[in-house]
Amino acid sequence: MNSILLDTINGKSTSRPPVWFMRQAGRVLPNYRELKEKYSFVEMMETPDLAAKVTLMPVNDLDVDAAILFSDILVVPQALGMSLEFTNAGPVFGAPLQTFSDPVSHLKTDLSKLNHIYAAIDRIIETRPSDIPLIGFCGAPLTTFCFMFRDNVRDITFKNAIEFIYRDINATKKIIDAITEVSIEYAVNQVKHGINIFQLFETYGGLLPEDLYLELILPASKKILNAVRDKGVPTIFFPKDLGHGIVKVTKDVADFVGVDWQMPIDYAREIVDCEVGIQGNLDPRLLYSNQNNIMQTLEKYIEFGSENQKWIFNLGHGIMPDTPFENVKFVVDWIKSANWKR
């Protein structure tokens, strides 16, 4: 495949960094908003033709260098038997694990819940432009675990889940193992259906002290990422808010590491294993500003980009929901036309 993103991941030199955005499909595109008036998010996600159409929308409308599968990280808890509803306020489980005195016994794996996603991947592969790789993904174990315990859609501290970890480490390990096992099956099936790159989203990587994260969760994330890489697909790990802990994301864990907007990208490059590439890390909220301010911040990346070929331009977290579309397009155009002095 002739793709600037795959070239970068494979260590070839390119004239500019590749660009795509986390959450590029669902949040900012006028065409997505229009479709959302006719169909709910779940209808779009679960109907392969619609999921494929939305997956490819940012490629057409923003001209980004990759498509990311239109789905959600919470399909893994669904495949563990949990019922889920996407309300206007956010995702809500029918019976969060917090409800049960013995949550482990309430997990009942049903992998057929994921079949519609493989059908969507088939459809995307059939209809995408030939130079656009498809990024598959799933949630990393801690983030998935945290949502499974949440009983209040407004709780962003995930108090229940963290309390459970400290109260019952043995049951915690069993649940993490169950999430990991289904995630591996799911990720490997994504590979079989043709994804070109895989990203593991650990959005809430900062909820635990670093040593506990590294001991309890990182080995599970590594297992998922290695299962994908063993099938020949490169991996990106995005452990948001892990701070200095990203030094532990070595080449045996992932090919690239996503850097959040909190950490200066030069510092990330200094501390991360030199064999591991970097993805990131513009503050998504900068896109609320004016194009002059946005450009001044982008210019600061030129030096980094001229010296670092193993870098994928992205945000330091997902695009914010009400970001002006023109500003997102402005960033893509700027990245593509700047002189990267390579």
Closest distance of CB 21 from ligand CP3, Å: 7
Which one, 21 or 311, has the nearer CB to ligand CP3?
21
Q: Are 236 and 256 in contact (CB under 8 A)?
A: yes
| Tokens 């994260």 -> residue | 213
Nearer to ligand CP3, 181 or 241 (CB): 241
How is the chain split among helix, strand and coil, in percent rounded to 5? 50, 10, 35
Q: How far is the CB of 319 from ligand CP3 (least distance, A)?
A: 8
Distance in Å, CB of 14 to ligand CP3, minimum: 23
Of 4 and 74, which has the nearer Cβ to ligand CP3? 74
Q: Which residue is nearest to ligand CP3 (CB)?
A: 26
- For residues 220 and 184, the answer to whether their CB atoms sit within 8 Å is no
Query: Least separation, in Å, of the C-beta of 303 and ligand CP3?
Result: 29
In the complex with ligand CP3, the residue whose CB is nearer, 245 or 284, is: 284
Amino acid present at 97? L
HSE value, Cβ hemisphere, 13 Å, CA-based, for 180 = 19
Question: Do residues 64 and 335 touch, judged by C-beta distance below 8 A?
Answer: no
Question: Which positions lie near ligand CP3, rule CB under 6 A?
Answer: 23-26, 41, 68, 70-74, 86, 90-91, 137, 143, 201, 203, 318
Identity of residue 205: G
Nearer to ligand CP3, 2 or 88 (CB): 88
Least separation in angstroms between CB 22 and ligand CP3: 6
The b-or-e profile of 26-53 (16+ CB within 10 A means b, else e) is: bbbbeebeebeeeeeeeebbbbbebbbb
